[in-house]
Every structure is written in structure tokens, then in C-alpha cells.
Structure 1
């Protein structure tokens, strides 16, 4: 997964506390609390790692997230199993959400240990749908979405050639799963973990909060050094995920106290949850206002990249172009839903966005 992080208008970043001096080497573990271990899996992209977590369970270990389906990742898991001082099985596999770096090895692990996949319904079903796109041609609705955004013919051709790669990094999911729900309390070993569902980054992202241990496994909902990509996708072009993500940040602040140790999917474990949530929300609101102010003249989606990300996006970098486009549409759709901008299609069928007035956002 590559993150597209907007500039922050010199907003002062909060001081977070990182209690661990080192990160785990591939194939090794670090204990972050009694019976809770931190592992790190390699990713073949710019964001070169994902953190996964082990929680001591009855007669074995539950894990949260898995890494992508790659040979390097499979090797890392085999090394962890070989290095274990006690050969205890996995009892279940929790997955926070459907992105390949989180769910990629879940099918392999559940089959190897004959255990269940625990996941929210929308994440499981969406993952199955996207993985089934492998080998298909890019649908016309998707091509129309990117043409409306202002993509060139070369960028469209590149997208068509790459379409269906999602399933490449995901081992076939099990045919059944154990659904987890918002507010559900799940006993793992001697402790209870509560599911807190957020949206915006993905359809039904599950965080896990253990009140008595003061631990929050945050997935991608809150990260200490980067902001999660929040995108609109061709399957739901009028969605407003940015509003959902902002609401999810507020929900986390309300439901989880500030004194937790946050165990995120990327970067390092940290303390200072509320300050980080406040920063992410305020920075995004400032970014949205900066975008609105830049729309005094009509602009295409591809014209707002510099405003949002502080630089242009090379259309030959297909993965980054896709993420930047999705997040730009998410920001523009937010403004559309607020009534702050208008959208029309020009004679070529490309969407043009323009601010309604000089007034601030509601």
C-alpha cells in the first residue's frame, strides 16, 4: 500500500511518545505487553512493511492481520514459526480490513492451522468481489470514471493493462468466516477486546480495543507518521468517504481513552492517540478549505494534485496516480456534498469543479 499524504499547511505536529527503541526484524517478535507480540512483515512497495500482532489465546495464538501474499512474506511467517520457543498453533486469524497487505496471507494461515477467519462482513465480501476481478477486462464504468477525472489516453491504457491485479497478492480466502461487528466484545485468552468499526479508508474497518490492558490495535484508521489514503472508487463514484473518515476519527476519540498504547499497521507503536486524532482531523479540514479556495476557476480532478499533495503526479506511476485520483475525488465529493462546489461535464465528458462562493466550509 502506498500512502498519499497531503501537505499540512505548517500545522504543528503533536509530540507523540514511541516507547520502543527498536522495531522487530523480519521473522522476529517483540513483546509489547504480556501475551501480546509485535511482528513486522515486508511489503514490495514504497511503504515497505506492515505490522501484525499476536495475542495469546487459549491453547495458542490469535493474530491480527497477515501481510501480502508474497514469497518474502511466506518466508517471514515460516521463520517466526521456526523461531518460536513453544510450538503452539494459531487459534484464529483476525483481519482489520480487506487491503492485500492486511488480508493477503489469511487464507494460507487459516488452512495451515485449520482455524477461522474473523472479519467484518463488508470487508470479507468486498475482498471476495475484488479478488474475482482477476483475469477480467477493465469495465467501462471504471474507464469512464478515470476519463471524467481527466486521465490521458496513455494512463487509461496503463490502467487497462494492470486491471485485476488485486487478487494477485491475496491467497484464496476461506469459503466461510466468523463475522465480527461494531461494539462486539471478544474474549481472547484472559482478556476482552472490543471491536470499534470505522469507515472511510475501507468499508467496515475493525479496530480492536482492550480496556484493561489499555491497548488499541488501530489498523489503518490512525497511524502516527502518515495519513491513511481515503479514496473514491469507480464502483461508487458519488461516495463521500472523507466525511466517513472524519466521523470515524471523532468516534475513536470518543470511545477510546487517551492513555492507550496504539498498535498501528504502519510505523511504530505510540502514545498520544487524542493529539494525533485531533491533528489528522484539523489537517484534513484545512486541506479541504485550501482545495475550495483553489477552485475559483474550473478544474479537473488531475488539476488539483499539486494543491492537495504539494506536487504533481507522474501518470507513468500507475499505482500512485490511482491513489491520488481516488483521494482527490474523495476531497471534491466532500465539498460537493457540503454544497461548497459545483461539478459540470465539459464537451469531452471530463468533470470540472468550481467553488460556489468565497465563504468558508460549513
Structure 2
């Protein structure tokens, strides 16, 4: 597949990303600021929080992890824009992963801001982050990995691989639930929510038709593609949801895409087309591996795919993500009659010709 490179909307932001640095706070345009908030121990390094000026303060899109470093960076970034954390009136959370949702509760405690989420993600909060539910969630993840064929010696490590980041979330139920197509209602902004499930069941993008901007969260990024995986809190076919969601945002005519990671860029439709083509290529690769093996479990299939680094060098958490992302592609292929699986203690996937 011919590589497509987007045009950065900010050369300095792109240079910081490529150089492994934290980008500067930027005034994107009048009334809109980009504030990088660091992510600890993560190759993404930072989340881009967007501050939207209001007559009586600011609203922010996403929040960052619940760490003192992240909170300090957010406060410092707001200060560059001329605001304090107490000026935050609302937190629009694109989805409930810790780097987007983690600080929302702490921000509300100090500012009184409302927190908004899509209902599909709001319904997952307690199971994901409350202590009384976490053992059940880990057990369900472990059962999924068993059915995928994950070797016994790595099962426990993979099943609990995300537990180390739970403390970086200040669990807070939302004050507002935002549905697909809803006008957000920020003074001076024609912001509308677009439900884009796939990376998470309740992922939201926000479009401003008048300003020709798309705040894309993790849905559409400049260089990488978000993880779309089957897991205990996903739907049965998250890749189908994701591809449909890509088509939903492609139709918007915008001048700039403002993602939560990497850097801002210009070409929405072209980037969407490239990501969709990438998944078609991945689906074809998986279909071929299934045919070549004559029947294999998901873990075995995942180990034979092309990844950004050798399989043996991928950390445990990312191996789990790779397995579950492979499972999402297999589910998509099965829904379209291109592969089939035989359920058992370990599920085996076959080509339709087998």
C-alpha cells in the first residue's frame, strides 16, 4: 500500500512529536488552545487537551492522566492561555481511557466543572475502575485469552496487564450524557457530537461546521491507528463499528483535524481512506495466515502477523492488545463469511475452504 503522509497543521508540533519532545502550548486560532499533557511510561508521551474559550471561562476536550505532573502541566498550559484551572466550566471526554478521562474528576473537584461522556462509555466506568468489580473484569479478560490460545505461563501477566494504570484515574460519574448528533451547547461554539464507536464503545468526536474543525480524539490520528480490539467491554464486532464510524466522519468538510495525540493535520478524507485501506490490507493478511495454517487459534495467528517490531520484543500489555486486535479482525471476517471458528476450550479459526 502506498504510504500517505498528512500535511501537518503545525510544523512545530510535528517536529516535537518526531523529536520525542513535549510540544509547546499553542493558540490554534482565536479562542482555541492546544495544551499537551504528559502521559507517564507510554510511547504516546502526551495527550493534546483542547481549551475552548467561553464568555465566562473555558471548556476542555479531554483531560489527561490523574498524576500530579499531568495536573501541573494542564494548569500551566491554561495559564499560558490566560486562565486558571478554576475557570474550567466543562470537560468533554472523548472516551474513558485513562489518558483522556483520568483527570476529569480532579478537575471537577477544584473547579465545579461538569463532565460529559457518551452513554455507552459512561455505562462501563464502574466495572472498569471501581475496586469491587475489577476482579470480575480481569477474570473475563483471562477467559477471553484462554479461548484465544494464550500460553498458560503468560496468562496471568496478560490478563492483569492494565491494572498498573488504574490508579491514574479519578473515577467520576458524568454530569452529562451526550448522544450522537447532539449540539453540545457551548456559548460561541457550534460544536456537535459525533458518536464514533470502535476504539471504545462510546468514543465521541466533536465537529464545528462553522469553524471547519474536527476534534477527533483517538478516532483519526496523523500517523498511527488506534487499537480496535475485542475485549470484555467491547461489542462483538468493534472493527465493523470503527469502519462505519470512519465513514461517518469522512463526510465532514473541515480544514483541520485536531487529534488527541501526535499533531494536528489537514486532510481528513484522505487520512480516513488510508486507514480504511490499511485495515483491508490487514484483513487480507489475516485471512491468508488462517488459510496457510489450516486452522489456528487467535494467539498463533497474531504471532505470524506483521507488527511494527519483532513479536518477542513486544511488551506484555501490547501483546494482549495485538491478540485482541487480531480477534477483532477475525470477528469482522467471520461476520462476512470469509473465515469461521470452532468454539471450544480454545477457539480454532479456519478458512471457509477448510
Deviation at 1:135, TM superposition (A): 8.1
Secondary structure in 1 matching 2:123: helix
Q: Distance in 1 between matches of 2:274 and 2:335?
A: 23
2:286 to 276, 282, 291: 291
Residue by residue, what CA displacement relative to the aligned partner does 1:102-142 show, whole Å, maximum 9, x if unpaired?
Answer: 00100000111011101111112212320014784355433
Contact 2:161 2:317 in 1 (8 A): no
Higher RCO by CA contacts (8 Å cutoff, separation 6 or greater): 1
Contact 1:65 1:103 in 2 (8 A): yes
Q: Distance in 2 between matches of 1:231 and 1:325?
A: 8
Corresponding residue pairs, total: 342
Please state how far the C-alpha of 1:317 moved relative to its aligned partner.
Answer: 2.1
Matched residue SS, 1:342: strand
Find out whether 1:54 has 2:44 as its counterpart. Answer: no
SS at match of 1:151: coil
**Unmatched tracts of structure 2, length 5 or more:** none
| CA distance in 1 between partners of 2:81 and 2:140 (Å) | 49
Q: Which has the higher helix share?
A: 2
**Structure 2 residue 256 is matched with structure 1 residue 261:** yes
Q: Which residue of 1 aligns with 2:10?
A: 20
**Does 1:279 pair with 2:271?**
no
Deviation at 1:169, TM superposition (A): 1.6
Q: Considering only aligned residues, what root-mean-square deviation do their CA atoms show, in Å?
A: 2.4
Query: In 1, distance between residues paired with 2:43 and 2:107?
Result: 25
Q: Is the 8 A contact 2:139 2:159 kept in 1?
A: no
Unaligned runs of 5+ in 1: 1-10
TM-score for both structures, normalised by structure 2:
0.89
**What aligned pairs does 1:3-42 form with structure 2 within 5 A after superposition?**
11-23=1-13, 29-42=25-38
Structure 2 residue 168 is matched with structure 1 residue 169 = yes
Instruction: Return the alpha-carbon distance in structure 2 between the equivalents of residues 133 and 230 of structure 1.
Output: 25
Q: TM-score, length-normalised on structure 1?
A: 0.87
Question: What pairs up with 1:269-348 in 2 under 5 angstroms?
Answer: 269-296=264-291, 297-305=294-302, 306-309=304-307, 312-314=310-312, 317-345=315-343
Deviation track 1:71-94 (CA, whole Å, cap 9, x = no partner) reads: 321221232345453557111111
Q: 1:120 to 1:302 in 2, by over 3 A?
A: same
The Cα shift of 1:314 comes to 3.5
